[in-house]
Amino acid sequence: MLRSALALLERGDGPPILDDFPDDAPGDGPTDMTGWSCPIPLPPAPPSDDPALLADVLSEIGTLSPWQALAVEQRGRTGLGAAGVPIETVARFLHDLLEGNGAADNPSDTLTLGQSFRGAAEDLKTYYMEAATAQPGNATSRSVADWFWGGTAAGRLLLALHPVCAAAADDGVKRVATGQLIPRLHKHRLS
Amino acid sequence: MVRLTDLDSGSAQHLLDKDCPPFETQPFVAGPPLAERRVAIVTSAGLHRRGDRNFDLSDLSYRVIPGDVALADLVMTQASVNYDRTGFQQDINVVFPLDRLREMDAAGEIGSVASFHYAFNGAGQLAPAFEPTAREVGRMLKEDGVNAAILVPV
């Protein structure tokens, strides 16, 4: 695709030059969107001193960790790092925001509370999605998102944060909750 | 570019509702053959090095990405929550095709890869708001001898 795009620079029959690139993305088509389910069971966490939802998220993080590590090994990189803290700290911080009605100790020295909230939410999704896409099967992006938002404690945590943080005292936290937390496609899960 | 028919109806309508005025001019210039071009990437994926500042909502600033960057050092803090990141998570070349450019450079298909690339946050602002920073980046691309830029819209 890149080769085709750059080749347009050598054409002189513009302006404009608009060309279709004929290839479709692999796995395209609506039937593929229902053909994947996460093969790793994510049962509720065993008894713990942590609140149930936090314990479930931490348990999921532990269960998914071999797959997320495999993703990093295979791809040579991770998209984690927006919040700048370990993933367990991300989970605890987000749960603290839930418990604190949108207020919590900021785990970052350099980000505002709202920026930490935003980064933590992205890091949590990234962790799960990197793990999910490292597993066997032809998972589409839609099916992975459906799994995260509809089938994980992490998704439940972010959905629960929406109404709580939308009423937070901190403007940055409020702004993230209202506009940068739940994708348009999954807002129906809020009701 | 994704087809509207491949998007959920809400996202498709969101794009259809965008105001897309026609360009008043259609500048067109010829240049040297591709094998003599110096190529840079300008992406709106909200990428930056891990030590750089995160992008914020409605952020008009840009981040500089050195041409010799290790792709493992890049993170994405794009402000929009609505677009699909799974492709980026599996292969960063989806939004920042530096590996491909390096391969084309090694094969002699392009003249060289730029010393610096640039990333914007492609959400929360209309295009005219970016003009001052776009002009700034344009000057730096020129200083770098770039005569071909790949714009990756995200």
What is the model's pLDDT at position B70?
96
Confidence of residue A43 (pLDDT cuts 50, 70, 90): confident
Chain B residues within an 8 Å CB radius of A182: 81
Chain A residues within an 8 Å CB radius of B6: 28
Q: Does B84 touch chain A (CB under 8 A)?
A: yes
**Burial letters for B89-110: b for 16+ Cβ neighbours within 10 Å, e otherwise?**
bbebbebbbbebbeebbeeebb
Residue with tokens 């071999």: A66
What is the DSSP track for B37-62? -EEEEEE-B-EEETTSPPP-TT---E
> By the 8 A CB rule, do A83 and A111 touch?
yes
Q: What is the pTM of this model?
A: 0.88
What integer best gives the mean pLDDT of chain B?
Answer: 92
B13 lies in a domain? no
Least-confidence region, from A67-71, A133-137, A150-154: A133-137
Chain B residues within an 8 Å CB radius of A70: none
ipTM over 0.95: no
Count of domains for chain B:
1
Ramachandran area for residue B3 (φ above 0: left; ψ -120 to 50: alpha; else beta): beta
What average pLDDT score do residues A78-101 get? 97
For the cut 80, the answer to whether the pLDDT of residue B19 exceeds it is yes
For the cut 50, the answer to whether the pLDDT of residue B25 exceeds it is yes
Partner residue opposite B75 with nearest CB, options A5, A79, A183: A79
**Per the CB < 8 Å rule, is A185 touching B11?**
yes
For the cut 50, the answer to whether the pLDDT of residue B137 exceeds it is yes
Confidence of residue A7 (pLDDT cuts 50, 70, 90): very high
Please state, in angstroms and rounded to a whole number, the distance separating the CA atoms of residues B42 and B47: 10
Partner residue opposite A82 with nearest CB, options B54, B100, B150: B54
Selected residue with higher pLDDT from A131 and B83: A131
Give residue-wise pLDDT tens across range B60-69: 999 999 999 9
What integer best gives the mean pLDDT of chain A?
Answer: 90
What average pLDDT score do residues A18-43 get? 67
What is the model's pLDDT at position A26?
60
Q: Does A158 touch chain B (CB under 8 A)?
A: no
For the cut 80, the answer to whether the pLDDT of residue A178 exceeds it is yes
**Per the CB < 8 Å rule, is A125 touching B30?**
no
Q: Does A146 touch chain B (CB under 8 A)?
A: no
For the cut 90, the answer to whether the pLDDT of residue A176 exceeds it is yes
What is the model's pLDDT at position A27?
55
Q: Which residues pair with B113 in a beta bridge?
A: B39
B99 lies in a domain? yes
Please state, in angstroms and rounded to a whole number, the distance separating the CA atoms of residues A114 and A133: 28
Please state, in angstroms and rounded to a whole number, the distance separating the CA atoms of residues A161 and A164: 5
Confidence of residue A25 (pLDDT cuts 50, 70, 90): low
Partner residue opposite B87 with nearest CB, options A122, A125, A141: A141
Confidence of residue A40 (pLDDT cuts 50, 70, 90): confident
**Per the CB < 8 Å rule, is A6 touching B148?**
yes
For the cut 90, the answer to whether the pLDDT of residue B26 exceeds it is no
B100 lies in a domain? yes
- Residue type, position A104, single letter: A
Range(s) of the domain holding residue B86: 34-152
For the cut 50, the answer to whether the pLDDT of residue B140 exceeds it is yes
Q: Which residues pair with B119 in a beta bridge?
A: B43, B63
Confidence of residue A33 (pLDDT cuts 50, 70, 90): very low
**Per the CB < 8 Å rule, is B72 touching A77?**
yes
B126 lies in a domain? yes
Confidence of residue A35 (pLDDT cuts 50, 70, 90): low
B residues 124-143 lying closer than 8 A (beta carbon) to A: none
**Per the CB < 8 Å rule, is B90 touching A75?**
yes
What is the model's pLDDT at position B20?
82
Confidence of residue A36 (pLDDT cuts 50, 70, 90): low
**Which of B1, B75, B112 has the highest number of chain A CBs within 10 A, making it the mutation to test binding with A?**
B75
- Cα B6 to the chain's mean position, in Å? 22
B15 lies in a domain? no
Give the contacts of A157 (CB within 8 A, at least 6 positions apart).
Answer: A53, A54, A57, A91, A94, A95, A98, A124
Q: Does B114 touch chain A (CB under 8 A)?
A: no
Please state, in angstroms and rounded to a whole number, the distance separating the CA atoms of residues B118 and B44: 9
Give residue-wise pLDDT tens across range A56-73: 999 999 999 999 999 999
For the cut 50, the answer to whether the pLDDT of residue B74 exceeds it is yes
Smallest Cα–Cα separation from B127: which of B1, B23, B7, B3? B23
Q: How many CA atoms lie less than 13 Å away from A139 in the CB half-sphere?
A: 21
- Residue type, position A8, single letter: L
Which token pair is A80? 């984690």
For the cut 60, the answer to whether the pLDDT of residue A31 exceeds it is no
Nearest CA in chain B to A28: B6
What is the model's pLDDT at position A12?
87
Chain A residues within an 8 Å CB radius of B110: 6
Please state, in angstroms and rounded to a whole number, the distance separating the CA atoms of residues B1 and B11: 14
> By the 8 A CB rule, do B120 and B13 touch?
no
For the cut 90, the answer to whether the pLDDT of residue B57 exceeds it is no
B146 lies in a domain? yes
Partner residue opposite B72 with nearest CB, options A76, A142, A184: A76
For the cut 90, the answer to whether the pLDDT of residue B92 exceeds it is yes
- Number of helical H runs and strand E runs in chain B: 4, 7
Q: Does A18 touch chain B (CB under 8 A)?
A: no
Which token pair is A18? 């608009």
